[in-house]
Structure 1
């Protein structure tokens, strides 16, 4: 039997092969192959099977890339992150609204400069890749230059990235506000330039309701009607003070989510970050419209915003992915983010199992972004984005990995003790774009 492939990779593999409606279904779709063979054809996955079942397909075994001793999982999907805030991560002492004024807005003012935007885009993408994140939904700033720089850098790497220019016309410093018409024109130009260019996609990005006038939201609605396959990316119900502010700004609306919903900004490709303080009607609206939420545990804990209710999210049937939310979030590492998500669950008597956690970071996140037909698992025909994990990079990890009884415990130890040191290599579109060191040997 002849199979066309350009790259053969040997190692241990773990993925979830199908989207699920309840966490109880996850073990049925979990696939762990201790000694597996992944075949790629350019940027696409040809097959994943056991080494024994697939080695006869190899034309030359000496060309196999050998990652034995490592665990290979689909690339991590970050469903909410701010790239300009990279340089003010770990800013001390404030909750959301004060934090924006004191730290975020001054830092974002620099991104009118193409050179600064280019430097920070390169640094940001390196941080993603060195932490195993291969797809992200990203906030820029109000400046078009910030988005041009990010998309240019991601395009050179072949990354699947969704991003957008912040749209903001009130309740922010003058140096970061724009008119609704300016916001519309600049966003439209960026969509025409970047949306569906290679693996890049555009997200309409009103920062959040308090910085959006009704006129601006009307322009966002107009753009969504003109470009219906774009994404919508914003914040929702992160902080109690923020929610009260929205009620005072939009007294004729039935709550925070209703502001977006009445402008027809909910839907299949709409992603709302945080969603900590939702009422039942808002959960029901998210479900009915097919909208998704981003769970950002390190950010929610760091800013004291509250605890996301993962149990309710499942019960309401709302799509959900993980977000690092740098720079309120305190790490680019999805492993550390999953560890914090476990603690958030524990505080609410919800036991986040490793199988579920890795689902949210891979195929579940892909589903939240409406990309599950393209990324998130090792299904044949999907795009070849994956991360090679070294599960034992410290003496403590080596001890715990050695005495872990099964893959579930090994995954849980990874998400509890793991960080960027555990990333051995990151592959994007069938190419290794980051690696810790050259250790591969012939099979």
Structure 2
């Protein structure tokens, strides 16, 4: 059979691809379409064939040759159209199963879920040119998704998308066209165009999802930065209001009682060593907060004398548990200022800490003036704690202020047993 390739590009590589395309276009049609026709013609002409000396296969051979010539003519016409359009042949264009790979910015599970959601949508069927919703099948265990015009997929062909993870940790998406029985006559570039279209849609969807996730992360980081700024501003309000009074008292004791003045200096240094780092950190521990409260109460005891007694009750196993800084000492300061200082009698303050598997409870109990007087504070202490708890833990934390069992006030701070946000 003499075939002219005058319509093909002049490069040797293009000529080789053109011949390969024509060959692939002709023999499946001649073979698989010619055999059924051979059987039909042989059954119709069986009496005539028996009466003649011609072999029975003659009609089938002629039929196969005619079909092959038709397929060759069709392939040559497609090549001519490609050249007129300025196209260039490639192996992927003439392949019956063209494929493309790309890397997903998401993990395999998220990639598979997003691909399955996008491929099963009506919009994808319209993108692929289907007149009705596409036939769809997916298996999350194998990471494979199959989409086609109709079922069964082996009849008309389909697109298979495979999601897998490489050893380097990258997620690879493999898109391949699977030919069917009705697609034996090769289409020049149509299968590759479908593959490219699906790859473009999936890549766009995956990168859009990644961009939205990155934007959400950036938004959370900005919110976290704003939150920390607010927390630092609130923590800065929890300064030792008693500091000036303590220094004035220390100045008096230096002249009158050097021993008590030395004791006050020791406790003041201990208090500042525990308090100043808390003003710059986002989290403290039960041990540090108890130490801070103890130094504070010791200083106030020197100032108030016999009017103040205090006790510390804490489980040693809880000393390393994280808690927000400067909250406990605010409750202690509130108890001294609004409980004992307003009372005309000596009083006792008990600082306690207990915990369970999921929460920690810090409490300050006094037997001073009671809730009515305690509630008449300047609004900085308890309001500050309420706001910080909401910012750090939301509804998972609570501050409860109630009358004590034997008078005075019981303030209880319950927080989740975890790091603050």
TM-score by length of structure 1 reads 0.17
Considering fraction of residues, name the structure with more helix: 2
Tell me which structure has the larger Cα radius of gyration.
2
TM-score by length of structure 2 reads 0.18
